[in-house]
């Protein structure tokens, strides 16, 4: 997965996250082809600037509206306008929260990561500030302090995830980040798109482009997938007592038993990165765990050798001279696959079907 950091110098050109570049990166992020990282200083620079501008615009609007009585309008209309001004003033008091929500919604929607300032960053920045070390072009360059925190954040992100791709219009910051190693800096989105590593992401996206919107919806609706899988396991796949179960670790001589009950059905993982799209149908692999209560026939000699460390109950000790009828609980690991048609997702119906269930492991529960 490609990890990218976007600087304030780029984001301030599209503060509403509305332009095609950020919309493309948002989609690629939701498809898990890349991960967006925001240093805290980038977030704070952006939100504080947005708040200042919006607050100023609304403040000017209130001032202009409340001065309209001097421009010759009727008192009745002016009273209505005063109510508008009061409403704007009420909205003005919530702008900081609204600006922050705009950002946090984008972060949550894309799965981006907001990196708080590391405890060590302050010391490193101040040391570089007084020494004129990177990213400061000279000692005590106060205007570069925010960039120094972004620089330290990128170093920490590299330590955490490896290669980082940094999009930044500021020449000095871009150049010092380029010199870090494991970092690749670009002056614009357009330059970033020309990189060979992005081309690989673009090629991957082209393979799934015609069904990418539905794939994103699947990724956003894992709860529905889980609900269906659990319901199917309980209701249809292993429905009813005395269903035949085969597994090589079941200690009957033919490895066959009869399912009697089932509990603790849990979806462990939905393999979103392994979803297949074939002829208009999505196939979704899932790992599920459960507890099965199974009856099976066990040689009496085997029972006397193995029963001590296991939770085995004898259901019938006189079945015949060779076997006991045994009941035992096992922890079970299942590979489950369900399917859903592309049109079902488009129409927001999410009608799944069960395709395959395989018992991967039948695990003995020790006393």
Q: What is the 3-state secondary structure (H, E, C) of 269-286?
A: EECHHHCEEECCEEEEEE
Q: Nearest 5°: phi and psi at 42?
A: -65, -45
At 170, phi and psi to the nearest 5? -80, 120
pLDDT exceeds 80 at position 102: yes
Question: For the residues 177-204, what does the mean pLDDT come to?
Answer: 94
Q: What is the pLDDT of residues 115-129, one digit of tens each?
A: 998 878 777 777 776
CA angle at 112 for the pair 106 and 116, rounded to the nearest 5°: 105
User: Do the beta carbons of residue 129 and residue 136 sit within 8 Å?
Assistant: yes
Phi, psi (rounded to 5 degrees) for 348:
60, 35
- Binned at pLDDT 50, 70 and 90, residue 302 comes out as confident
Evaluate whether 85 touches 67 at the Cβ level (below 8 Å).
no
Where does the chain have alpha helices with state H? Answer: 8-11, 20-30, 40-66, 75-92, 95-110, 121-131, 145-161, 171-178, 189-193, 196-208, 212-220, 222-232, 300-306, 342-346
Task: Please state, in angstroms and rounded to a whole number, the distance separating the CA atoms of residues 129 and 137.
Answer: 9
d(CA 256, CA 278): 34
Strand-strand pairing, 183-186 and 113-115: unpaired
Q: Is the pLDDT of residue 357 over 70?
A: yes
Of 147, 153, 201, 155, residue with least CA distance to 182: 155
Helices 171-178 and 145-161, axial angle in degrees (round to 10)? 30
Query: What is the per-residue pLDDT for 306?
Result: 74
- Mean pLDDT, the chain, integer: 90
**Nearest Cα to Cα of residue 27 among 216, 210, 171, 206:** 216
| 96-103: average pLDDT | 95
Flag whether pLDDT at 323 surpasses 90: no
Mean pLDDT (whole number) for 183-200: 95
User: Is pLDDT of 240 > 70?
Assistant: no
Calculate mean pLDDT across residues 310-334.
85
- Residue 54 pLDDT > 80: yes
Lowest-pLDDT choice from 14-18, 32-36, 145-149, 189-193:
145-149
Is residue 239 scored above 70 in pLDDT? no
């Amino acid at each position: 997965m490609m990890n990218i950091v976007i600087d304030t110098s780029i984001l301030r050109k599209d503060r509403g996250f509305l332009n095609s570049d950020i919309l493309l990166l948002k989609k690629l992020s939701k498809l898990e082809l890349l991960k967006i990282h925001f240093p805290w200083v980038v977030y704070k620079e952006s939100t504080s600037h947005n708040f200042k501008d919006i607050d100023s615009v609304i403040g000017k609007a209130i001032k202009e509206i409340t001065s309209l009585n001097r421009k010759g309008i009727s008192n009745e209309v002016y009273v209505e306008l005063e109510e508008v001004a009061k409403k704007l003033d009420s909205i003005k008091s919530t702008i900081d929260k609204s600006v922050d929500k705009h950002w946090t919604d984008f972060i949550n929607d894309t799965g981006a990561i907001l990196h708080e300032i590391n405890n060590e960053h302050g010391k490193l920045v101040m040391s570089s500030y007084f020494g004129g070390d990177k990213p400061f072009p000279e000692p005590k360059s106060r205007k570069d302090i925010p960039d120094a925190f972004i620089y330290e954040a990128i170093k920490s992100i590299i330590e955490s995830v490896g290669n980082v791709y940094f999009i930044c219009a500021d020449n000095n910051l871009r150049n010092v980040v380029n010199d870090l190693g494991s970092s690749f800096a670009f002056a614009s989105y357009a330059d970033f798109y020309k990189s060979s590593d992005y081309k690989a992401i673009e090629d991957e996206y082209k393979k799934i482009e015609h069904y990418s919107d539905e794939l994103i919806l699947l990724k956003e609706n894992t709860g529905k997938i889980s609900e269906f899988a659990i319901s199917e396991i309980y209701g249809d796949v292993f429905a009813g007592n005395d269903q035949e179960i085969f597994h090589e670790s079941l200690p009957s001589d033919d490895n066959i038993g009869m399912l009697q009950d089932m509990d603790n059905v849990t979806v462990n993982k939905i393999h979103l990165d392994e979803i297949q799209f074939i002829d208009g149908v999505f196939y979704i692999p899932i790992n599920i765990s459960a507890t099965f209560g199974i009856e099976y026939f066990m040689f009496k000699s085997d029972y006397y050798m193995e029963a001590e460390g296991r939770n085995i109950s004898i259901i019938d000790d006189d079945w015949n001279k060779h076997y006991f009828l045994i009941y035992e609980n096992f922890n079970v690991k299942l590979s489950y696959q369900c399917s859903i048609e592309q049109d079902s997702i488009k129409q927001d119906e999410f009608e799944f079907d069960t395709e395959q269930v395989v018992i991967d492991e039948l695990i003995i529960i020790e006393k």
